[in-house]
Chain A
Amino acid sequence: GENVEQHPSTLSVQEGDSAVIKCTYSDSASNYFPWYKQELGKGPQLIIDIRSNVGEKKDQRIAVTLNKTAKHFSLHITETQPEDSAVYFCAASIGGANNLFFGTGTRLTVIP
């Protein structure tokens, strides 16, 4: 099955700086890559996703890049704010969100 690795496990940045989280996947058939933000005591919230027919997608301060050849994708958060502090999970799947394989998570702390 699919294996998704995520780095780093923890990340601290100063408010206003950028944060980058990276994931690799093993199954070249995977074609859907969402990112979720999970705050304490809550379920994961979808923040952005990308499909394999594009290389980059942006939504305000958040962007995701995908390198199919290298089988890795990254989350970029610019101008970080304290409310960005949470655990972020990447995931990969084939054909949509039917069976998501999740990375191990990154705890992001934005220091005011």
Chain B
Amino acid sequence: SAVISQKPSRDICQRGTSLTIQCQVDSQVTMMFWYRQQPGQSLTLIATANQGSEATYESGFVIDKFPISRPNLTFSTLTVSNMSPEDSSIYLCSVVRGQNTEAFFGQGTRLTVV
């Protein structure tokens, strides 16, 4: 398994502001991902965080709204920019250690935009 620490665990933010979520893993991992889980809904992949290069975004998600950084093999950040109430969700960091291995999730960041 992997020990994944996400910060903050929750936040309440004003619309129009931005929030940066951090994901720290206890050891090096091959891949890191960011998912969104809207209230009472399933998980949707936002993007793959690539070390040292631009993240790979899924359809419906763009870099200007969700900038992502991954400076090394154990750390990544997701920023939710210019927030609106529709951005209220749980944001989850996920990691995969290597080829054909499992994905593990952090405890999530519960974001409420007012």
A residues apposed to B, CB below 8 Å: 1, 34, 36, 41-46, 49, 89, 95-100, 102-105
Q: Once the chains bind, are A42 and B108 in contact (CB under 8 Å)?
A: yes
Taking Cβ atoms with an 8 Å cutoff, the residues of B that contact A are 4, 6, 31, 33, 41-45, 48, 58-59, 92, 94, 96, 99-108, 110
B43, B96, B106: the one contacting A89 at CB < 8 Å is B43
Taking A97-B96, A98-B31, A98-B96 as contacts, is the C-beta distance between A104 and B102 under 8 angstroms? no
Can you list 17 pairs linking A and B with CB atoms under 8 Å apart?
A34-B103, A36-B105, A43-B4, A43-B92, A43-B106, A46-B102, A89-B43, A96-B99, A97-B102, A98-B96, A99-B33, A99-B48, A100-B45, A100-B94, A102-B43, A105-B41, A105-B42
Determine how close the nearest CB of chain B comes to the CB of A40; give it in whole angstroms: 11
Q: How far is the CA of A49 from the CA of B102 in the complex (A)?
A: 8
What residues of chain B lie closer than 8 Å to A34, measured between beta carbons? Answer: 102-103
Q: Are A98 and B48 in contact (CB-based, < 8 A)?
A: yes
On whether the beta carbons of A43 and B107 are closer than 8 Å, the reply is yes
Report yes or no: A46 in contact with B104, Cβ–Cβ below 8 A: yes
Instruction: Please indicate the chain A residues that have their CB under 8 angstroms from the CB of B33 in the complex.
Output: 98-99
**Smallest distance from the beta carbon of A3 to chain B beta carbons, Å?**
12
Quick one: which of B41, B42, B102 has the most chain A CB within 10 A?
B42
